Structure 1
Amino acid sequence: MKVTGIQGESEVIPSKHLLQSLEEAETVLPCLYQPSTDKVVQVTWYKVSPAKTKEQIIVANNADGHLAFGTWSGRVRFKSSEPTVDSTLVIISTEVSDEGDYICHISTFPSGNFEREISLTVWTTPITSLDPVVLKEGEPFKQVASCRSVARPPPQLSWDTELNGQSINRTSDNGAVSTHYSLHPLRSMNGKRLDCLVWHPVFQSPRRLKNLLVVHFPPHAEVSGFNEEWHVDMENAALRCIHGGNPEPTLTWTRILVYRGVHCGLDDWH
């Protein structure tokens, strides 16, 4: 007699089979009993409640076919068209509430009943948000970005940056995790990378939420291009206004009348 997952009386009963699945994915609960002489009369799947009561999910036998019960109807099916041969159960679209213990109960003749117990853990894909803050040069040490994520199991968060700041991680009662990054804003930090990395078993590599730090600072304008060789009727003479500032400032050129005998240079217009 070949047994896969369900053990006969002469064999050691294994520990509970552990299985992991993902929310909204198809979950396959394996159960296969292949006796050499016994005949499988009926297959029944149960879900075990925290109070250890058994909720009937689906039943199949050679006489009446198969039937799913209650809210399980339309959500589960047998993998095989012959469930008394291959009793593997399929949850078509897995929900978080499906997490728990399941029992595959095989009734045979003449040997009797055999069971396999499976413990299902349902993971969820992280839902993550990154909330940056627009900063101003001169502000005190403050929080400049926060990253929050919710998943099963809880994800881990970290920052990828060259900035010299401090991060604080928190965990909420609902299982959400968050990380908060703080620093003293300087104009040299504007445009620097401050990415949030999300680490979770459903990801082969950490998921990256890209973010560039935004620091506002006032402009400092300087005029260049003039030299002492400028003269009347000179062609292609040009002045250039060099400025910094974030956000980009609006420039206005103004011509000022200078009386004869008054001398000025570019240093007078900084």
Structure 2
Amino acid sequence: MQALLGCDRTECGLGAFLLLMACVQGAFVEPLQPDTNLLSFSDTPTRLPCHYQVAQDQSVVQVTWNKELPDGSEDPVIMAHFTEGNREFGRYSGRVKFESFTPITENSALLIPATQESDEGIYRCHITTFPNGNFERRILLTVWTLPISSLEPVNLVEGQPYGVVASCRAVGRPLPLLSWDTDLPGHSHNRSNEGGAVSSHYSLHPLRSMNGKKLDCLVGHAGLQEPRRISNNLVVQCEYTTDENGG
């Protein structure tokens, strides 16, 4: 029997004791760990899990979600009380809600229907029970923004000096990575700023033989399975000259 259970009498006895204690005191169904990391994207729904399973002769009196502030204090987000009902606070009013209509007796997950970059931070789900006291889960939410990108070609004429022939720009969080897919003999120069924007400029000496050649911009981002391609073909117009007689 020991071989089938995979534990000796001491280990099995300890496991049974912990299971009994969980049934007596109650326990979190989700998240299981005291600290959890979650990743979400801006303009998408976000779910922060919090489900405390009460034990026999135990009841949840209040559920409170708070967000930690940089100075160490906490900003109240939403609360559910067994007699006073639900309440949203301050700038979160109308932006958040409980997943369940009865967060006191069922799951107390927090929903953010339209996530913003400013929602990034540390959240605490605080469960107040009677008669066993308070229990808490801490969730670190990271918010990414998928890139918004564009490409601007330059009107070229054969014979122009070496210079920029196309510019690619993208804004995202974390910062996107720009590259070029081309066989053209040119060089790229990238720039980025603190606002989450990056640009790449492709330069060469335009020749007639380059007209119609591929010069695609590739936008890479941690939130994309593969780089986003912005298709582009170089356009080099021929330079026509006329003599003094207009011929």
Query: Within 2, Cα distance between the matches of 1:65 and 1:94?
Result: 25
Q: Is the 8 A contact 2:34 2:137 kept in 1?
A: no
Other-structure match for 2:119 = 98
Query: Within 2, Cα distance between the matches of 1:6 and 1:91?
Result: 17
Query: Within 2, Cα distance between the matches of 1:15 and 1:35?
Result: 17
Partner secondary structure for residue 168 of structure 1: strand
Larger radius of gyration: 1
Other-structure match for 1:107 = 128
2:38 partner amino acid:
L
Q: Is the 8 A contact 1:126 1:149 kept in 2?
A: yes
Other-structure match for 2:98 = 78
Query: Within 1, Cα distance between the matches of 2:196 and 2:87?
Result: 37
Q: Is the 8 A contact 1:6 1:115 kept in 2?
A: no
Within 5 Å, give how 1:117-156 maps onto structure 2. Answer: 117-156=138-177
Other-structure match for 2:77 = 57
Other-structure match for 1:262 = none
Q: Is the 8 A contact 1:31 1:87 kept in 2?
A: yes
Q: Is the 8 A contact 1:95 1:122 kept in 2?
A: yes
Q: Is the 8 A contact 1:194 1:211 kept in 2?
A: yes
Q: How many residues align?
A: 215
1:138 partner amino acid:
G
Partner secondary structure for residue 195 of structure 1: strand
Unpaired stretches in structure 2, ≥5 consecutive residues: 1-21, 242-246
Other-structure match for 1:24 = 43
2:83 partner amino acid:
A
Within 5 Å, give how 1:148-227 maps onto structure 2. Answer: 148-218=169-239
Please identify which structure carries the higher helix content: 2
Q: Is the 8 A contact 1:161 1:195 kept in 2?
A: yes
Query: Within 1, Cα distance between the matches of 2:230 and 2:84?
Result: 54
Partner secondary structure for residue 91 of structure 2: helix
- TM-score normalised to structure 2 length: 0.81
For 1:12-54, what per-residue CA distance to the aligned partner results, in whole angstroms no more than 9, with x for missing partners? xx46311111111111000011132332111000011111111
Deviation at 1:86, TM superposition (A): 0.6
Unpaired stretches in structure 1, ≥5 consecutive residues: 8-13, 221-253, 255-270
Query: Within 1, Cα distance between the matches of 2:229 and 2:175?
Result: 17
Other-structure match for 1:3 = 28
Q: Is the 8 A contact 2:216 2:233 kept in 1?
A: yes
- TM-score normalised to structure 1 length: 0.75
Deviation at 1:130, TM superposition (A): 0.9
Query: Within 1, Cα distance between the matches of 2:118 and 2:28?
Result: 30
Other-structure match for 1:246 = none
Query: Within 2, Cα distance between the matches of 1:103 and 1:29?
Result: 10
